[in-house]
Amino acid sequence: MAVDDLIDAEDDVAVAAITAAELLVGAERADEARRARRAKSVEDVLATLAVEPYDLGVAREHAVLLAATRGVGRPRGAHDLIIAATARACDRIVISADRTAFTDLPGERVRLAGP
């Protein structure tokens, strides 16, 4: 399923601050021929979408998720847990093509994109 199939025009779409950082890193790491175009694309996206900050509410949810994943011996990537914690703290749904990063997290609502 494509991302376009998961998001309606009236949906309140946002990204976690860590997602913004990941996008910015991608622009920074692009080769010189593509860097300016990629940076402009990222800035356009960030100007269009709300960016949810990493605040104390997110930190609390992050702690819950980190403890839960360590407790069951199934650690996740640090950025993925921050994205999930942001979604929990802000009462949002995670939309991702990554079928392993966000599933089976306590209380997480996920819509999977991709094949």
Residue whose C-alpha is closest to residue 78's, from 68, 90, 66, 88: 66
List, for residues 19-42, the tens digit of each pLDDT value: 999 999 999 999 999 999 999 999
Buried b (16+ CB within 10 A) or exposed e, 7-35: eeeeeeeebbbbbbeebeeebeeeeeeee
List, for residues 40-81, the tens digit of each pLDDT value: 999 999 999 999 999 999 999 999 999 999 999 888 899 999
Residue 108 belongs to domain spanning:
3-112
Global pTM value = 0.87
**What's the Cα-to-Cα distance from 81 to each of 18, 19, 63, 78, 113, rounded to whole Å?**
10, 11, 9, 5, 18
CATH of the domain at 95: 3.40.50.1010
The count of structural domains within the chain is: 1
